[in-house]
């Protein structure tokens, strides 16, 4: 399989190069040049496989420059019992006939980013070897919470890689902070930056753009890379669980071969739902992809009107992993829906950059609307959805999943569509336990309690065990205490590399 850029550069890359580079040389995103098609028989065969076998089967054609053994090895490392606390890896839970939840949070950090970040490091190491790269890879990540920990867990102790995560000293929850500062591994660094997430993020961008920094780490045998969600190596593994959910519905006799289903996806950067689009392109019978947003509802407006307008107030919500105003992966969808028209993509992306908005043509808007439907949930509606889901089904969901369930209710009300539907559950309720406990038990119940005490409260209430990755967190040794000003971020990287290499 060859990959090309959404911005029109003629260069075509094998998957190893696309994964190693992350972003195309012309600033566009890599997309596969060919369409892979699974027949009804191919899909039916997945029903008899476990998650690892399904993943190997679906990833193999996208990684045609990898051997079958290499793909299986990456999949085996990533989706092992050691990393995932459920034998199904991504289990499907039926709430009622016709409505199921796909739990994507059984990995080490209790959120769906593990599904991709557990495998990306292995794909990256093999990609480096294939492209003759002899430097080690140094990953830098700026995080507002979830991605940093998922990347640390993915890269820890992976040979020839190292990772430093920068987080805003005042901008993450206590659980998120403890998850990061207790991170074990001989190739990991964690640094708090004075300021907000933007300070960390712009600091990382400056380091990537600074040739002197690249030279310094090159002398120590390293090259910079990022692990962000536009890397094809993060997107492809997400296609797997759409097929896996469908295969489970087949295996359980809930649908017949060829029968269409809907997927509801709590959306921020448009990475997760875009994988659903690719699954459909590959022949998975998908009727509608329902894009669930919070009050940062830039995507809802886009899907309804064809106008993408980021010029609006940023809102801090109780579903913080969806507090995003620029959904980078949308560029890939537009490229596909315009029949690979790089000229239009460049125009829209440049308007987004210069004016903060763009409007797609009517034809493209109609194509979007044939496939996607969108609405959003306010924080009040999200809390209500957590309570309702518990009342109706005895099932506890996190805030992001609750957004999905609320939007699904709106979809049913608006369309009457009773196609069997899968709601993607993107985080364990324990990961956002303060908001979840407040919604279930009322504000008084959380008053004066630490986040760690609230884990116990939620566990007692729900009867669910506290996940491995969050249990005992407050008693783990703190291994990373560095706090820097934004200006000192480069020095902290150099100090980290010196420590790694004994320089
Ligand atoms: C990242 C994240 C999302 C949003 O996913 P995108 O791929 O960015 O659309 C939703 N929920 C949770 C819990 C997340 O961590």
C-beta of 276 in contact with ligand 1 (< 6 A): no
Q: H or E segment at 332?
A: helix 330-337
Statement: residue 80 has pLDDT above 80: yes
C-alpha of 365 from chain center:
25
Whole-model pTM? 0.95
Q: What pLDDT does 195 receive?
A: 87
Biggest CA pair distance of the chain: 65
What average pLDDT does the chain have? 95
Q: Which of 102, 109, 111 to mutate to test the pocket of ligand 1 (most atoms within 8 A of CB)?
A: 111
Contact 180, 165 (CB under 8 A): yes
Report percent pLDDT > 70 for the chain: 100
Ligand 1 centre to CA of 405 (Å) is 15
What is the rounded average pLDDT of the residues 415-442? Answer: 96
Reading the block at residue 284, the tokens are 């998975």
Statement: residue 117 has pLDDT above 90: yes
Domain 92-110+233-462 has CATH 3.30.56.10: no
Rounded Cα gap, residues 296 and 308, in angstroms = 12
Instruction: Look at the block and give the residue holding tokens 């996607």.
Output: 372
pLDDT tens track for 341-392: 999 999 999 999 999 999 999 999 999 999 999 999 999 999 999 999 999 9
Contact 196, 168 (CB under 8 A): yes
From the candidates 20, 113, 126, 156, give the one annotated as an active-site residue.
Answer: 113
Ligand 1 centre to CA of 113 (Å) is 7
Helix (H, G, I), strand (E, B) or coil at 64: coil
pLDDT tens track for 24-66: 989 899 999 999 999 999 999 999 999 999 999 999 999 999 9
Ligand 1 centre to CA of 429 (Å) is 14
C-beta of 368 in contact with ligand 1 (< 6 A): no
Ligand 1 centre to CA of 267 (Å) is 6
Residues 6+ apart with CB under 8 A from 362: 306
Q: Which of 321, 333, 372, 429 to mutate to test the pocket of ligand 1 (most atoms within 8 A of CB)?
A: 321
Q: Is 82 a catalytic residue?
A: no
**DSSP state for residue 1 in the 8-state scheme:** -
C-beta of 429 in contact with ligand 1 (< 6 A): no
CA-based torsion, 266, 392, 84, 58: positive or negative: negative
């Amino acid at each position: 399989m060859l990959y090309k850029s959404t911005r029109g550069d003629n260069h075509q890359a094998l998957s190893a190069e696309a994964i190693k580079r992350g972003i195309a040389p012309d600033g566009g995103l890599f997309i596969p040049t060919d369409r892979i098609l699974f027949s009804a028989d191919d899909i039916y065969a997945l029903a008899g496989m476990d998650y690892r076998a399904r993943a190997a089967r679906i990833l193999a054609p996208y990684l045609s420059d990898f051997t079958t053994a290499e793909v299986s090895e990456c999949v085996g490392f990533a989706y092992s019992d050691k990393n995932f606390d459920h034998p199904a890896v991504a289990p499907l839970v039926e709430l009622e006939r016709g409505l199921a939840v796909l739990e994507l949070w059984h990995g080490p950090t209790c959120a769906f980013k593990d599904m991709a970040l557990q495998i990306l490091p292995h794909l990256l190491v093999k990609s480096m070897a294939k492209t003759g790269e002899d430097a080690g890879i140094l990953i830098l990540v700026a995080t507002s919470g979830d991605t940093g920990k998922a990347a640390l867990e993915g890269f820890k102790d992976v040979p020839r890689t190292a990772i430093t995560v920068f987080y805003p000293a005042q901008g993450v929850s206590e659980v998120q902070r403890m998850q990061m500062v207790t991170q074990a591994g001989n190739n990991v660094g964690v640094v708090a930056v004075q300021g907000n997430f933007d300070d960390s993020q712009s600091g990382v961008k400056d380091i990537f753009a600074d040739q002197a920094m690249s030279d310094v780490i090159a002398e120590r045998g390293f090259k910079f890379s990022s692990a962000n969600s536009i890397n094809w190596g993060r997107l492809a593994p997400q296609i797997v669980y759409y097929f896996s959910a469908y295969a489970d519905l087949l295996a359980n006799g809930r649908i017949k071969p060829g029968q269409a289903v809907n997927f509801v996806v709590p959306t921020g950067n448009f990475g997760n739902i875009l994988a659903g689009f690719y699954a459909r392109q590959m022949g998975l019978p998908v009727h509608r992809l329902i894009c669930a947003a919070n009050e940062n509802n830039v995507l809802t407006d886009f899907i309804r009107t064809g106008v993408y307008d980021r010029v609006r107030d940023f809102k801090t919500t109780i579903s913080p992993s969806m507090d995003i105003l620029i959904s980078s992966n949308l560029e890939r969808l537009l490229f596909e829906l315009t029949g690979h028209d790089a000229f239009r993509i460049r125009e829209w992306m440049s308007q987004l950059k210069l004016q903060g908005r763009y409007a797609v043509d009517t034809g493209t808007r109609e194509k979007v609307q044939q496939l996607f439907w969108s609405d959003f949930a306010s924080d009040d509606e999200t809390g209500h959805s957590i309570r309702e889901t518990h009342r109706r089904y005895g099932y506890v969901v996190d805030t992001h999943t609750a957004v999905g369930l609320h939007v699904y209710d709106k979809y049913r009300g608006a369309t009457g569509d009773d196609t069997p539907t899968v709601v993607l559950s993107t985080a364990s309720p324990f990961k956002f336990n303060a908001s979840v406990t407040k919604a279930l038990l009322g504000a008084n119940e959380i008053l004066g309690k630490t986040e760690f005490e609230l884990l116990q409260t939620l566990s007692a209430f729900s009867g669910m065990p506290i996940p491995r990755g969050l249990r005992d967190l407050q008693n783990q040794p703190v291994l990373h205490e560095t706090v820097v000003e934004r200006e000192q971020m480069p020095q902290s990287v150099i100090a980290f590399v010196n420590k790694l290499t004994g320089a």
